[in-house]
Structure 1
Amino acid sequence: MKSENKRSVIVGIFVFLGIAILVIGILTLGGQQKKFVKAIHLKAVFDDIGGLQTGNNIWFSGVKIGTVRKINFYGDSQVEIEMNVEEAVVEFIRKDSKATISSDGLIGNKIIVIYGGTTLAPPVQDGDRLESVMPLDTDKMMETLQVNNENLVEITADLKTLTSKLAAGEGIVGAVMTDSVLAQNFKSILVNLERASVNSNRMLADLNKFTTKLNQEGNLFNELVTDTTIVTEIKSTMSSLKTSAENTEKLTNDLNTITEKFNSKDNAIGVFLNDQQFAEDLRSTLVNTDSATYNLNKGLEALPYTWPFRKGFKRKAKEEANSDN
């Protein structure tokens, strides 16, 4: 009888412990699933949920704030997600917030992440639908990575071939790397290029200084560029120069015409300048005239001493002497 009571007590203790463990487990799981927390329902529609399941977590700013309550088909090929979100964090989630699907770790369970939102929008309310943002497709990412891996293999093979040719001295770069004379010439070319670059920089600096001086106020070039009055005066001067050039050209043409007439024997001046016989006759005439003038002067000088005119000249001398006294 006592052994049966003892057995009943032991069984009761084990049953009580089992019930306690069950209750604690239910409370723990319920706490993790936010089953015993006041919550509101939010919705989001996705084209593809990528394996998201009911009960998966919902995160906001790195904090778990709820779980996936229900998954429904929506429209033609979309999926609507109903979420339980703690009422305590509702004031931080705005109507313009967005929802996307992510992973809990690299290969962990799928989760929903709520982010964004501005203070200009009011807080969400029960039954609101958040804007959804489709996550990156891991399958497409893996396909892209596979293509990149293939390209990397090809690049590596090409690089291996290239380095082999360089080591063998093939091509310009290989020759430069293996031929010391060519390498020295290449170095000389680089030195000359560096000098040319330095000279170019110096020339550009001087050119900048020159242009700066030209742009200074009071400079003739600056006034020519900015002062419209000077431009008008220059235009007027150029017009005057053009007129003068035209007049000079006309004068030159007239002088050429006159010169041509001087060189011709059809006029008096042309004959005077170009007819040799006329020049000889004129020279002879001038010689004869000079000789006649000389003889006339001699005759006039001897005239006072000739007998018919001697008295007249003496009388004139006396009158001039009396007039002087």
Structure 2
Amino acid sequence: MRNDNKKSVIVGIFVFIAIAIFVTGVLTLGGQQKKFVKSFRLTAVFDDVAGLQTGNNVWFSGVKIGTVRRINFYGDSQVEIVMNVEEKVKDYIRKDSKATISSDGLIGNKIILIYGGTTQAPPVEDGDRLVSVMALDTDKMMETLQENNKNLVTITENLKVLTGKIAQGQGIVGAVMTDSLLAENFKSILENLDRASVNSNRTLMELNKFASGMNQEGSLFYDLTHDKEIYKSLQTSVNELQATAENAKNLTDNLNETANKLNDKNNTAGMILNDEEFAQRIKHTMIYVDSSSMNLNKGLEALEYTWPFKKGFKRMEKAKAKEGA
């Protein structure tokens, strides 16, 4: 009898321990899954949940605040995520907050990450839908990394070829690094450039000094830019030069007009200068006039010795002789 009682007690102790372990496990799992915490519901719609499952955690500001309750298909090809979130964080999540899918560690389970939100927006309410932001796709990231690795290999091979050519003295860089004469020439060019820069700086300093001297009071440039009387005199001179230029232009126009008239055969001067036939006629006329004047002189000389005029010429000579005496 005593042995039966002892066995019953031992069995009872093991059953009690098993029940305690079971209750503790249920309470622990329930605490982790937020089963026994007062909560409210939030939703978000994604194009792709990237392996997210029911029961995965919801995080906010680095704190686990809930779990994924349901995953439903939505619309044509989207997925709606229903989340159970602790009631105590309700006042900290704003209506303009965003939800995205992330990972719990590098290769851990998928989680819902709630972030953002401003104090200008009111707190969320039960059943609100958050704006969803698609996270980076790890598959696409791996494809990009693979492509980048290929590009890196290509770049490394090209650098290997380039450095080999440089080491062999090929190309400008290789020639500069291996040809001592070319290196000396390059060094000489750099020295000349340095000397030219020094001369340029000296020239700029001289120009600055010259400009400073021009702006000093008493210099011609200063007087020209600051003395109003000189400005008025220059303005008057410029106006006079402008008037002179206009007069010269008018004179030139008149001379051009006169020259055009002289070149025109329809007037006397133009006919004299340009009509050869008329010029020949005038020449012949002048020859006739000269010949006539010579004949007239000869006739007048001959009249002195003719009988009717002989006595008259003698009286004239006597009168001139008396006036001379």
Question: What is residue 320 of structure 2 aligned with on the other side?
Answer: none
Question: What is residue 121 of structure 1 aligned with on the other side?
Answer: 121
Q: 2: CA distance between counterparts of 1:86 and 1:22?
A: 25
Q: 1: CA distance between counterparts of 2:226 and 2:62?
A: 65
TM-score by length of 2: 0.68
Q: 1: CA distance between counterparts of 2:85 and 2:219?
A: 77
Shift of 1:205: 6.5
Question: Is 1:55 the counterpart of 2:52 in the alignment?
Answer: no
List per-residue Cα deviations over 1:34-72 (Å, max 9, x = no partner): 111111100000000100011111111111111111111
Question: What is residue 293 of structure 1 aligned with on the other side?
Answer: none
Given residue 38 of structure 2, which amino acid in structure 1 is its aligned partner?
K
Given residue 14 of structure 1, which amino acid in structure 2 is its aligned partner?
F
Q: 2: CA distance between counterparts of 1:129 and 1:95?
A: 8
Q: 2: CA distance between counterparts of 1:226 and 1:16?
A: 112
Structure 2 matches for 1:66-145, cutoff 5 A? 66-145=66-145
SS at match of 1:65: strand
Unaligned segments of structure 2, at least 5 residues: 255-325
Q: 2: CA distance between counterparts of 1:5 and 1:193?
A: 110
Question: What is residue 184 of structure 2 aligned with on the other side?
Answer: 184
Given residue 45 of structure 2, which amino acid in structure 1 is its aligned partner?
V
Question: Is 1:242 the counterpart of 2:236 in the alignment?
Answer: no
Shift of 1:214: 8.3
Question: What is residue 39 of structure 1 aligned with on the other side?
Answer: 39
List per-residue Cα deviations over 1:226-273 (Å, max 9, x = no partner): 99x99998666434212224546888999xxxxxxxxxxxxxxxxxxx
SS at match of 1:84: strand
List per-residue Cα deviations over 1:68-106 (Å, max 9, x = no partner): 111111000000001111111111110000001111111
List per-residue Cα deviations over 1:90-125 (Å, max 9, x = no partner): 111100000011111111110111111111000000
SS at match of 2:13: helix
Question: What is residue 20 of structure 1 aligned with on the other side?
Answer: 20
Q: 1: CA distance between counterparts of 2:246 and 2:174?
A: 71
SS at match of 1:188: helix
Shift of 1:225: 9.2
Question: What is residue 306 of structure 1 aligned with on the other side?
Answer: none
Q: 1: CA distance between counterparts of 2:83 and 2:217?
A: 74
Question: What is residue 174 of structure 1 aligned with on the other side?
Answer: 174
Q: 2: CA distance between counterparts of 1:106 and 1:31?
A: 25
C-alpha spacing 1:110/1:221, structure 2 compared with 1 (3 Å): farther
SS at match of 1:92: coil
Aligned length: 254
C-alpha spacing 1:76/1:250, structure 2 compared with 1 (3 Å): closer
Q: 2: CA distance between counterparts of 1:99 and 1:220?
A: 77
C-alpha spacing 1:75/1:248, structure 2 compared with 1 (3 Å): closer
Shift of 1:15: 1.1
Structure 2 matches for 1:213-292, cutoff 5 A? 237-247=237-247
Unaligned segments of structure 1, at least 5 residues: 255-325
TM-score by length of 1: 0.68
Shift of 1:141: 1.1
Given residue 54 of structure 1, which amino acid in structure 2 is its aligned partner?
T
Most deviating of 242-251 and 103-112: 242-251
